[in-house]
């Protein structure tokens, strides 16, 4: 019999219309108590662990994940042995290798991994990253011909290729082998590659579908390592030194931070903090990171700068930077990406403002469509994914943002919510002939539209995903891990909580409720419309706080107008390292009014 979770602080409807519930039901609370007693850890940490499915027997391994214990035999991945054998042969025979990558952070990380690995053996591969606007996602025939004409005898696609039947068949027809390393959802038919490793191909039973492309690439390198060793090659590099790139791709592609991915990120951050990768170190400097590198820095400061090259500049800059060993050149490229990122932010703000107005008109005062499919000729194709992400957050439903071109075609990107598989829906639209090209994974997808496709695609997506969106929104109550006070939110508490990290997709950061606190000194700060304030308790304790992008929203209005009244606050905690001093910061997620008295 399922146990009902109680409403936290009796909040059935917050300012954002959400119920607040205890993340733990009765069984979970009992498990948390048992974990605290058996493992000798704090009650709050044990609640966080139990809320993420950790039991008594797995507590120790969860708190100390290792690559050694979590890494499966790479051969469990379909096609791995064939791919590793062909790559090892190319290395041994000193072949001319070409890499074809995606233009996002995961693609750049995957390509840089392969470039660095091959460089250890004295090989310098050609690298082609397609232009997002002129070439689009994945291999194309013209690019394949260019690589082959330049001498490539082996082409490796990274973070792409699973749905590229035509270009891969063309390359094979010209006598060149093609290896595909990918993680995107696969069509029913696989392309005629020499070997294809993708944990999401239909016949793969490895259970590793949660890996990003950089994670799959690392598995390929482990398998290739083994093959080379078996053949007597002793020139093998230390693969663990490449984990910083795996961590970067894993965090930025927003894949679940579970199992092997948690170990990749934890150990990869340790490598990244040493600063051995000149490109990553230069980006850290350009991003003005304070304190030790953490997943937030990778996902929200460093990642967007790499992506900026692919969105509005030179798509190859990210891969080039992450593969560099020259400090001066790294600083120059990092500065260029920083400039592109600032320009990207300006373009994004304008597009989000227009898209928000259109979305508000569609939703109106009612429920609106289950999936927002918005299109405009004013939007830069490089920022549509960011626009979709912003609106998905604001309107609590999946969103597609589509940039329309002068010829009537469109390039779109979608962002989803837990429980709604966007990638499968887009692939189904392609299979039905409604759109010519598209794919992705559960939480993000891309699509290409012909003139006249917009209406049928919008109707198809609404029909296919309508019920799952309703179910996902019904289950979207804000789950609270524990109640705290401003005085109890200490640096020591944060260090203790971090043992359950890294937090992100699939391993959500803990959410804390602060009952009957007040928001003082609220003001709008920054270009993004953030609202900063001081969270205070009745005993006079204060906590630095911020509500991101809250200006002109119900949350922002309350903070700026009614914040000094007693309110229930919910959100997350992080460590700020301003001027070298650790300080706790509260990041607001939601507000609830206290029940009326009387």
Instruction: Supply 535's token pair.
Output: 């969270």
Q: State how far the Cα of 146 lies from the Cα of 159, in Å rounded to an integer.
A: 20
Of the two residues 475 and 593, the one the predictor is more confident about is 593
Confidence of residue 439 (pLDDT cuts 50, 70, 90): confident
Q: 543 near 569, Cβ under 8 Å? A: no
Q: CA of 505: how far to CAs of 153, 252, 269, 295, in Å?
A: 39, 10, 17, 11
Domains of the chain: 8-23+481-593 (2.40.50.460), 69-339 (3.90.1640.30), 367-474 (3.10.310.30)
Q: What is the pLDDT of residues 450-479, one digit of tens each?
A: 999 999 999 999 999 999 999 988 777 899
Local structure of 574: helix, strand or coil: strand
For residue 364, what pLDDT is reported? Answer: 76
Confidence class for position 136, pLDDT limits 50, 70, 90: confident
Place of tokens 């799952």: 468
Residue that has been written with the tokens 């700026």 in this structure: 560
Cis peptide leading into residue 21 (ω within 30°): no
Contact 348, 383 (CB under 8 A): yes
**Residue 568 reports pLDDT greater than 70:** yes
Ranges assigned E (strand) in 5-75: 20-22
- Which two tokens mark 118? 């091959």
Residue 313, pLDDT score: 85
Q: Are 32 and 50 in contact (CB under 8 A)?
A: yes
DSSP string, 123-140: ---EEE---TTTT-SS--
d(CA 159, CA 135): 16
* Mean pLDDT for the stretch of residues 188-216: 95
The average confidence (pLDDT) of the chain is: 94
The contacts found for 163-166 with CB under 8 angstroms, 24 or more apart, are 163/138, 163/187, 163/191, 163/439, 164/138, 164/139, 164/191, 165/189, 165/191, 165/192, 166/141
Q: Is 528 helix (H, G, I), strand (E, B) or coil?
A: coil
- Secondary structure of residue 351 in the 3-state scheme: helix
Spatial strand order in the sheet of 444-449: 372-376, 399-404, 410-415, 444-449, 437-441
Judge whether residue 410 has pLDDT over 50. yes
Predicted confidence (pLDDT) at residue 366 exceeds the cutoff of 80? no
| pLDDT tens sequence across 481-520 | 999 999 999 999 999 999 999 998 889 999 999 999 999 9
Q: Is the pLDDT of residue 418 over 90?
A: no
């Amino acid at each position: 019999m399922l146990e009902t979770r109680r409403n936290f602080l009796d909040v059935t409807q917050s300012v954002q219309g959400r119920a607040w519930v205890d993340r733990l039901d009765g069984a979970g609370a009992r498990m948390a108590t048992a974990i605290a007693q058996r493992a000798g850890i704090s009650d709050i940490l044990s609640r966080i662990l139990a809320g993420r499915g950790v039991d008594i027997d797995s507590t120790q391994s969860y708190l100390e994940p290792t690559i050694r214990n979590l890494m499966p035999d790479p051969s469990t991945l379909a096609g791995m042995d064939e791919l590793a054998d062909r790559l090892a042969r190319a290395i041994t025979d000193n072949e001319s290798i070409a890499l074809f990558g995606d233009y996002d952070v995961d693609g750049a990380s995957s390509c840089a991994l392969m470039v660095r690995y091959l460089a250890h053996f004295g090989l310098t591969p050609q690298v082609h990253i397609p232009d997002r606007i002129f070439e689009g996602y994945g291999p194309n025939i013209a690019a394949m011909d260019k690589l082959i004409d330049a001498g490539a005898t082996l082409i490796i696609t990274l973070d792409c290729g699973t749905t590229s039947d035509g270009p891969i068949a063309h390359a094979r027809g010209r006598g060149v082998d093609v290896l595909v390393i990918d993680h995107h959802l696969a069509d029913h038919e696989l392309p005629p590659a020499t070997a294809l490793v993708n944990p999401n191909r239909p016949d793969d039973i490895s259970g590793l579908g949660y890996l990003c492309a950089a994670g799959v690439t690392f598995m390929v390198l482990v398998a290739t390592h083994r093959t080379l060793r078996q053949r007597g090659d002793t020139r093998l590099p230390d693969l663990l030194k490449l984990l910083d790139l795996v961590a970067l791709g894993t965090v930025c592609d927003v894949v679940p931070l579970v199992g092997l991915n948690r170990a990749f990120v934890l150990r990869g951050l340790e490598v990244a903090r040493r600063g051995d990768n000149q490109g990553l170190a230069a980006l850290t400097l350009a991003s003005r990171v304070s304190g030790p590198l953490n997943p937030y820095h990778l996902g929200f400061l460093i990642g967007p700068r790499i992506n900026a090259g692919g969105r509005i500049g030179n798509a190859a800059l990210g891969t080039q930077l992450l593969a560099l060993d020259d400090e001066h050149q790294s600083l120059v490229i990092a500065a260029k990406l920083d400039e592109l990122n600032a320009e990207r932010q300006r373009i994004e703000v304008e597009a989000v403002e227009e898209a928000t107005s259109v979305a508000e008109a569609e939703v109106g005062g009612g429920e609106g469509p289950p999936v927002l499919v918005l299109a405009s000729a004013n939007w830069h194709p490089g920022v549509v994914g960011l626009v979709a992400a912003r609106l998905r957050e604001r309107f609590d439903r999946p969103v597609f943002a589509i940039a329309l071109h002068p010829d009537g075609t469109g390039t779109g990107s979608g962002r989803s919510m837990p429980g709604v598989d966007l990638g499968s829906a887009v692939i189904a639209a392609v299979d039905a002939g409604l759109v010519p090209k598209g794919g992705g994974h559960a939480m993000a997808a891309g699509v290409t539209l012909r003139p006249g496709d917009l209406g049928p695609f919008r109707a198809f997506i609404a029909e296919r995903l309508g019920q799952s969106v309703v179910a996902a929104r019904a289950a979207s109550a804000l789950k609270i891990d524990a109640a705290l006070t401003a005085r109890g939110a200490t640096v020591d508490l944060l260090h203790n909580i971090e043992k359950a990290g890294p937090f992100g997709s699939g391993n959500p950061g803990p959410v804390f409720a602060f009952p009957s606190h007040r928001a003082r000194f609220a003001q709008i700060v920054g270009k993004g419309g953030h609202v900063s304030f001081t969270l205070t308790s009745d005993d006079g304790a204060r906590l630095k706080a911020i509500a991101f992008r809250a200006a002109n929203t119900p949350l922002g209005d309350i903070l700026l107008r009614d914040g000094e009244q007693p309110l229930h606050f919910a959100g997350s905690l992080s460590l700020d390292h301003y001027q070298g001093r650790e300080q706790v910061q509260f990041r607001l997620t939601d507000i609830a009014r206290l029940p009326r008295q009387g």
